[in-house]
Chains A and B, each alone.
Chain A
Amino acid sequence: MAPPVAQTIHRDPALFYWILLPITVVMIFTGILRHYAQTLLQSGPKKQPVRLLRQQRSLMRGVNLRTNANVLSPSSFQTRKAYLVSAFQDGAFLADPENRGKPRGNPMSDPAMMEGMMGGMKANVAMMVPQTLIMGWINAFFSGFVISAFAPARLVKLPFPLTPQFKSMLQSGVGTRDLDVRWVSSMSWYFLTLFGLQPVYTFILGNNNAASQVTQQMAQMNPGAGMMGPDQDPDKLFLSEAENLEVVEHRWILDGVEDRLLARSK
């Protein structure tokens, strides 16, 4: 294998000002724009109807009773358990007792559900539209040259050496194998700024900005990880909670607390 030849590509220094800076600046401004678009599109936290609130919090009460049962004396625990178990089994806390046992309808037909979906869609659109536009713009203006006329002058050189594994990351849109990895194509520069500008946004917009892509994608990974997911049947949740309550082994933490206290103060 021949030793690598030092590649000298003559490029116009003005390209720095006409490609690198514009891409970076445009990326920063779209980030800021996206942040404000997101803020405008955001619908405020939705009001929950009282019945849903009651259903959710009653379930929470059951969970609380199960996890913190040891603060209660045995008699009051038994009373509470009997009451909650029978109420859970009868569906006394359900938001709509008539629909009990029926399969859930199509989520599309429920307007409240639609609203939730629209919220997610809006956030997605606000993210996707500028991304597509900018990518098209960069493709049209900056990277056409690299591929058709093979003008590596469109490239920017990094000031440090890199291993060949970075080739796919840094030279997307460049069809040569032998080009030194240190050259970065404009397309790749776009991707790098796309993911790497988070600290800049934090500096400009403060901590809770909506400009970053990465946090958006993270948020989409687990939408609504709450225990009352929209697709879960609340009746089933209540029944399983009733079962959990039935089998709780109750131990009163106040049993022998005097001895523990005396032993500790010795």
Chain B
Amino acid sequence: MSADLLSPPPHLPPAAALRLSQEAPRVLGNSSSKSLPYPFSLLYAAESPETWIRYENLLLACLRTGDDRSARLCLERLAERFGDPNQRVKALRGLYQEAVAPDNNALEAILKSYEKEIKDDPANMPIRKRRIALLKSMSKVPDAIAALVELLDVSPTDVEAWSELADLYLTQKLYPQAVFSMEEVLLITPNAWNAHARMGELLYISAISTTNNDGGTTRILSESIKRFCRSIELCENYLRGYYGLNLVESSYWQ
């Protein structure tokens, strides 16, 4: 899989992330060294949105591979360009601090600073999401769920948040809530075959793990089959859908 800094796939395999982060010296070295003298620099627009997307992705890749020094440089460049109060820069700075935090106390301090930020500006979505992610990684799942529900009350059209909420509910074995959240995801992206398959998985898990009367389980399983069918209908070679369909069918006839 080819991955470049401009548009890396959302789930980067470790090797690709390493390759990306190894480009750091090249990217960080060649910019800001050559720029024309003042009157000509006005005529020549050197920067483009792509430059900064590249920096951001490089920052993420460097953090993954432990190259904190390059990550720091990327962050400085971004902060220099967009200013510290920028929401996205704030979130990236928080991400960096979380990555280099030595112990749990430091993480708690970061969490406090996030809460202060949110109190100052409740519309700061990137920081609110960072706070949720931090809560989740500190395994305070109920807190994370509460924060997510609060976020979704303000912004109920956020696909990412809804699917995260579905996952969190699943870890807490709150299946009806998870299914509800997944339905919201589907309402926003009605043709996403992976969302349909995920819905099928949720239904399947909830059906096999609850031991109530037989009728309800059968109904849930049959909806699960339908969901997998829909995901295959939307994307013919979606293997996960086929496998899920096979799994559910075999347990349906037992």
B156 touches A253 (CB 8 A): no
- Within 8 Å CB of B123, what residues of A? 47-50, 53
Give residues 204-244 of B contacting A (CB, 8 Å): 223, 225-227, 229-230, 232-233
Stretch of A3-11, A15-23, A54-62, A176-184 contacting B (4+ beta carbons < 8 Å): A54-62
Closest A residue by C-beta to B125 = A53
**B157 close to chain A: CB less than 8 A:** yes
Please pick, from B121, B153, B187, B232, the residue contacting A54 in the complex, using a CB distance under 8 A: B153
Please pick, from A61, A73, A206, A258, the residue contacting B156 in the complex, using a CB distance under 8 A: A61
A254 touches B230 (CB 8 A): yes
Closest A residue by C-beta to B48 = A206
Kindly provide the distance from the CB of B45 to the nearest chain A CB, expressed in whole angstroms. Answer: 4
Q: A254-B223, A260-B233 are in contact. Are A72 and B187 (CB under 8 A)?
A: yes
Please pick, from B45, B154, B186, B230, the residue contacting A68 in the complex, using a CB distance under 8 A: B186
- Within 8 Å CB of B233, what residues of A? 257, 260-261, 264
Closest B residue by C-beta to A63 = B157
Query: What is the bound-complex CA distance between A64 and B156, given in angstroms?
Result: 10
**B155 close to chain A: CB less than 8 A:** yes
B43 touches A71 (CB 8 A): no
A64 touches B223 (CB 8 A): no
B154 touches A261 (CB 8 A): no
**A106 close to chain B: CB less than 8 A:** no
Of B153, B157, B180, B187, the most chain A CB neighbours within 10 A belong to B187
Q: A50-B123, A57-B157 are in contact. Are A71 and B223 (CB under 8 A)?
A: no
B226 touches A71 (CB 8 A): no
**B42 close to chain A: CB less than 8 A:** yes
A65 touches B153 (CB 8 A): no
Give residues 189-233 of A contacting B (CB, 8 Å): 204-206
A70 touches B156 (CB 8 A): no
A72 touches B156 (CB 8 A): no
- Within 8 Å CB of A253, what residues of B? 230
- Within 8 Å CB of B227, what residues of A? 254
How big is chain B's contact interface, by range?
A: 20 to 34
B154 touches A65 (CB 8 A): no
A-B pairs under 8 A by CB, number: 72
A258 touches B154 (CB 8 A): no
**B12 close to chain A: CB less than 8 A:** no
Query: What is the bound-complex CA distance between A36 and B20, given in angstroms?
Result: 36
Kindly provide the distance from the CB of A53 to the nearest chain B CB, expressed in whole angstroms. Answer: 6
Contact residues of A: prevailing secondary structure: helix
A64 touches B187 (CB 8 A): yes
Give residues 62-99 of B contacting A (CB, 8 Å): none
- Within 8 Å CB of B156, what residues of A? 57-58, 60-61
Please pick, from B45, B155, B230, the residue contacting A257 in the complex, using a CB distance under 8 A: B230
- Within 8 Å CB of B158, what residues of A? 57
**A134 close to chain B: CB less than 8 A:** no
Query: What is the bound-complex CA distance between A261 and B196, given in angstroms?
Result: 15
- Within 8 Å CB of B42, what residues of A? 32, 36
Please pick, from A53, A72, A260, the residue contacting B154 in the complex, using a CB distance under 8 A: A53
Query: What is the bound-complex CA distance between A109 and B232, given in angstroms?
Result: 56
**A76 close to chain B: CB less than 8 A:** yes
Q: A50-B123, A54-B155, A60-B157 are in contact. Are A68 and B229 (CB under 8 A)?
A: no
Give the interface of A toward B (CB within 8 A).
Answer: 32, 36, 47-50, 53-54, 57-58, 60-61, 64-65, 68-73, 76, 204-206, 253-254, 257-258, 260-261, 264
Please, could you name 11 A-B residue pairs with CB atoms under 8 Å apart, sorted by A?
A: A54-B154, A64-B187, A65-B187, A72-B187, A206-B45, A206-B48, A253-B230, A254-B223, A254-B226, A254-B230, A257-B233
Give the interface of B toward A (CB within 8 A).
Answer: 42-43, 45, 48, 121-123, 153-158, 180, 183, 186-188, 190, 196, 223, 225-227, 229-230, 232-233
Kindly list the 5 A-B residue pairs having the minimum CB-CB distance in the complex, ordered from nearest: A68-B190, A254-B226, A257-B229, A206-B45, A61-B156
